[in-house]
Amino acid sequence: MNEVSITLDSLLGQLLLGLVNGSFYAILSLGLAVIFGLLNIVNFAHGALYMMGAYFGWMALTYFGIGYWWSLLLAPSLVAVFGMVIERSLLQWLYKLDHLYGLLLTFGVSLIIEGSYRYFFGVSGQPYPVPELLSGSTDLGFMSLPNYRGWVVIASLAVCLGTWFVIERTRLGAYLRAATENPQLTQAFGINVPLLVMLTYGFGAALAAFAGVLAAPVIQITPLMGNNLIVIVFAVVVIGGMGSILGAVATGLALGVIEGLTKVFYPEASSTVVFVIMALVLLVRPAGLFGREK
Amino acid sequence: MKKILSLILGVTMAALVAACSKSDEAEEKVTDGAIRIGVLTDMSGLYSDIGGQGSIVAAELAVEDLGGEVDGIPIELLSVDHQNKADIAAQKVREWIDRNGVDMVTDALNSAVALATSKVVAEKKKIVMVTGAATTRLTNEDCTAYTIHHSYDTFALANGTGTAVVKQGGDTWFFLTSDYAFGHSLETDTANIVKKAGGTVLGAVRHPLSTSDFSSFLLQAQNSKAKIIGLANAGGDTINSIKAANEFGLTKTQNLAGLLVFITDIHSLGLPVTQGMYVTTGWYWDLNDETRAWSKRFFERMGKMPTMIHAGVYSAVMMYAGAVKATGTDNADVVMEWMRNNPHSDMFGKNMTLRKDGRLVHDMYLMQVKRPSESNAAWDYYNVRQTIPTAEAFQPLSETRCPLITGSGN
């Protein structure tokens, strides 16, 4: 943009906004990474689950008068149950097959989910108000940041840290990692591996739904909202390294910021920049920035 | 001798063929015994609320009003999802004409789709009545003798909203533009109108289609200090821009001007966020008794009020059927000529005239979105601020770049 001079203040503002978007990328790619890391499933239904989360929040408010904070808990739980049903009824038959089958199945599932939401709600979408506690904005000196956006960053960082802690530092996480590494041996130790796998998929779905509720007050809730995001999130996961939790979170945030900067200096490329970076990373490090070669 | 014989044979054959085809024409002026109308629309993508199933229902309502036939010849409706892809649309329309005998294609939402369709239709000598797409290229560089541009276009939108806003004191503009043909065309048209009315354009930022987060672009718009932020985008992009503008408090110091806003967008965003916005439209359900009666029928089937595109599809089918009835043929040249010479009236508009460049001219309306307290019911969203008369609503014929008129050829 040549007509508008870029000041330090506005640049700081854009960096902060990039961080907010990066937070969404981080939660979504975290869910994908967990599912891929532990189930070896390329979960293309992730965008649809994210959309379902947002819609559950909206339905809870519209039909039952349940507010934002409860939705933040309720919607992910419901979507988690839905995810677990999908895992038990469909996905579990595919673990022994090539990744491609899981990808195709989840892609089909997402088309069905999005199609039915489109049928019932149309594409124009539904509005969701910002919760009262977080309405208004804070003057940071260089920009006035809506409080809600600040909350998004805090909430997503907390969730990402929590997930990392559970998987890397607790006994449950150790079981999970063992189950991924060698399911037969883990089962032999008396650990119920199918149950672990089901819970993991449910947890990944819940993360997507959490991001959906988090996004609801910021963007319009439409059946296509996940569709627009899922491809970028996949790029984030590939850049970070498939299955790497730290990689997913760090690249999610970093790419949000890079995208934000692109929006200032060359806005036309803002939807492409992520993929350019992905191509470059794959050339240099095929396993991704944080991935391990197998 | 042999030569003469074959010559005679040849002439006889030719005469026979000519006689046959002539008698065909006399008995059956409408080919294949039916009038076939194809609704080409976006059934599942981002424009499916402004067109989509609603367009099909609108066409069905027209067929019902016609009694399902024109002088004993049945009207058949076909529809297809073009998925917003110009190549799919072109291939589908070709198939419709070659295999199904479609005579007229309507809706054609999405500018890229409309441009592709209009080329195929002209090549096959059939008719397309575009009600969904906005680009003025359809009646300028890419005009054909078989394309009718119904309902609205980017010039009419820019003209209505641009002029009104500058008149109200909004004389400095910054554009948020969707980065493809439609957005550019809307931005250019509006910028010209703003400058002509004495305003200045401070800048623009181009965003990719289907962006979910607009905060970054809006911050740039805010820094421009322009009084008016012109939204040269559509559908979900407009909705998300308006949402983010409210969230970041832009609307306290600056005003938004939505250049292509449909009533479904207002419905989806709600009045608290959209109140006071100017909207230019070719039609609104609550204009008069006739529009209200028609919209009630539409509402009973769709559960929502029609957009101007839906009403346009209805009007296009009525207009085409009227021309076929009057001329007694579905020959595109004859029907087009008749429509150029005979103004059409229905619940969409009165005395709508088809110009040589393919533009159907009619009144346009400048609306202002009501305050929540003014709205009495769902879908009661607009105050009519000004009726823009036919003569001023569209690009003057003297300014067209249509080769059919300028004679410059391709």
What is B237-298 written as a DSSP string?
A: HHHHHHHHHHHTTHHHHSEEEESS--HHHHHHH-HHHHTT-EEEES--TTSSHHHHHHHHHH
Note whether A224 contacts B220, CB cutoff 8 Å: no
Which 8-state DSSP code applies to residue B399? Answer: G
Q: Contacts of residue A149 in chain B, CB cutoff 8 Å?
A: 215, 247
Q: Contacts of residue B205 in chain A, CB cutoff 8 Å?
A: 1, 267
Q: What is the DSSP string of B137-180?
A: GGGTTT--TTEEE-S--HHHHHHHHHHHHHHTT--EEEEEEESS
**pLDDT of residue B12 exceeding 70:** no
The strand pair at B360-361 and B353-354 is best described as antiparallel
Tokens 């998925």 correspond to: B83
What residues contact residue B109 under an 8 Å CB cut-off, 6+ apart? Answer: B40, B41, B42, B47, B50, B51, B55, B82, B84, B132, B133, B309
β-partners of residue B360 are B354
* Predicted ipTM beyond 0.85: no
- Residue B343's pLDDT is 96
The strand pair at B382-388 and B200-207 is best described as unpaired
- Looking at the partner chain, which of B49, B206, B220 has a beta carbon nearest the beta carbon of A124? B49
pLDDT tens for each residue of B316-372: 999 999 999 999 999 999 999 999 999 999 999 999 999 999 999 999 999 999 999
Q: Contacts of residue A275 in chain B, CB cutoff 8 Å?
A: none
pLDDT tens for each residue of B143-180: 999 999 999 999 999 999 999 899 889 999 999 999 88
- Residue B61's pLDDT is 97
How many residues appear in chain B? Answer: 410
- Residue A12's pLDDT is 87
Using pLDDT thresholds of 50, 70 and 90, give the confidence band for residue B241. Answer: very high
Q: What tokens appear for A192 in the block?
A: 């119920």
Residue of chain B whose alpha carbon sits nearest to that of A226: B212
pLDDT tens for each residue of B208-221: 888 888 988 998 89
Torsion of CA B63, B68, B70, B75, to 10 degrees: 80
- Residue B22's pLDDT is 44
- Residue B5's pLDDT is 57
Residues of B with CB under 8 A from a CB of A: 44-49, 179, 202-208, 210-213, 215-217, 219-220, 223-224, 235-236, 239-240, 243-244, 247-249, 264-265, 267-270, 273, 304
Half-sphere exposure of A228 (CA within 13 A, CB side): 23
The secondary structure element, H or E, covering residue B54 is: helix B52-65
CA angle B390, B391, B394 (to 5 degrees): 75
Kindly report the nearest CA distance between residue A68 and chain B, in angstroms: 17
Global pTM reads 0.81
- Give dist(CA B288, CA B347) in Å, integer: 9
Q: Contacts of residue A260 in chain B, CB cutoff 8 Å?
A: 216
Q: Contacts of residue A128 in chain B, CB cutoff 8 Å?
A: none
- Looking at the partner chain, which of B46, B224, B267 has a beta carbon nearest the beta carbon of A224? B46
- Residue A4's pLDDT is 47
- Residue B26's pLDDT is 39
- Give dist(CA B233, CA B206) in Å, integer: 10
Residue of chain B whose alpha carbon sits nearest to that of A271: B208
Q: What tokens appear for B386 in the block?
A: 């000004």
Residue B113 one-letter amino acid: V
Q: Does A136 touch chain B (CB under 8 A)?
A: no
Torsion of CA B83, B88, B92, B94, to 10 degrees: 150
CA angle A269, B214, B365 (to 5 degrees): 110
- Give dist(CA A283, CA A286) in Å, integer: 6
Least confident stretch, A118-127, B21-30, B379-388? B21-30
What residues contact residue B346 under an 8 Å CB cut-off, 6+ apart? Answer: B314, B315, B318, B319
What residues contact residue B22 under an 8 Å CB cut-off, 6+ apart? Answer: none
Is residue B109 a contact partner of residue B262, using CB atoms and an 8 Å limit? no
**Percentage above 70 pLDDT, chain B:** 92
Q: Contacts of residue B244 in chain A, CB cutoff 8 Å?
A: 218
Give the mean pLDDT of B281-296. 97
Tell how far CA A286 is from the center of its chain: 22
Cβ pairs bridging A and B (under 8 Å): 117
The secondary structure element, H or E, covering residue B197 is: none
Q: Contacts of residue A118 in chain B, CB cutoff 8 Å?
A: 44, 48
Kindly report the nearest CA distance between residue B121 and chain A, in angstroms: 30
- Residue A183's pLDDT is 83
Note whether A123 contacts B48, CB cutoff 8 Å: yes
- Looking at the partner chain, which of A14, A264, A267 has a beta carbon nearest the beta carbon of B207? A267
Burial-class residue A119 by CB neighbours within 10 Å (0-12, 13-18, 19+). exposed
Give the mean pLDDT of B58-76. 96
Give the mean pLDDT of B50-67. 96
Tell me, letter by letter, the H, E, C secondary structure of chain A.
CCCCCCCHHHHHHHHHHHHHHHHHHHHHHHHHHHHHHHHCCCCCCHHHHHHHHHHHHHHHHHHHCCCHHHHHHHHHHHHHHHHHHHHHHCHHHHCCCCHHHHHHHHHHHHHHHHHHHHHHHCCCCECCCCCHHHCCEEECCCCEEEHHHHHHHHHHHHHHHHHHHHHHHCHHHHHHHHHHHCHHHHHHCCCCHHHHHHHHHHHHHHHHHHHHHHHCCCCCECCCHHHHHHHHHHHHHHHHCCCCHHHHHHHHHHHHHHHHHHHHHCHHHCCCHHHHHHHHHHHHCCCCCCCCCC
Kindly report the nearest CA distance between residue A167 and chain B, in angstroms: 31
Give the mean pLDDT of B279-303. 96
**pLDDT tens digits, chain A, 294 residues: what are they?**
444 456 777 788 889 999 999 999 999 999 998 898 888 889 999 999 999 999 999 999 999 999 999 999 999 999 999 999 999 999 988 888 888 999 999 999 999 999 999 888 888 788 888 898 888 888 887 778 889 999 999 999 999 999 999 988 999 989 988 887 888 888 899 889 899 999 999 999 999 999 999 999 988 899 989 987 898 999 999 999 887 888 899 999 999 999 999 988 898 898 899 999 999 999 999 888 887 765
Mean of per-residue pLDDT scores for chain B? 90
Is residue A91 a contact partner of residue A41, using CB atoms and an 8 Å limit? yes
Q: Contacts of residue A222 in chain B, CB cutoff 8 Å?
A: 236
Burial-class residue B40 by CB neighbours within 10 Å (0-12, 13-18, 19+). buried
- Give dist(CA A78, CA A74) in Å, integer: 6
Which three-class secondary structure state does DSSP give residue B18? helix
**pLDDT of residue B16 exceeding 80:** no
Q: Is B33 left (phi over 0), alpha (psi -120 to 50) or beta?
A: left
Which of B204, B56, B55 lies closest to B132, judged by CA? B55
- Residue A246's pLDDT is 87
What residues contact residue A161 under an 8 Å CB cut-off, 6+ apart? Answer: none
Which three-class secondary structure state does DSSP give residue B110? coil
How many residues appear in chain A? Answer: 294
Kindly report the nearest CA distance between residue A124 and chain B, in angstroms: 6
Which of B124, B174, B36 lies closest to B332, judged by CA? B124
Q: What is the DSSP string of B227-241?
A: SEEEEE--HHHHHHH
CA distances from B359 to A171, A178, B19, B145, B150 (A): 72, 69, 38, 11, 7
- Residue B319's pLDDT is 97
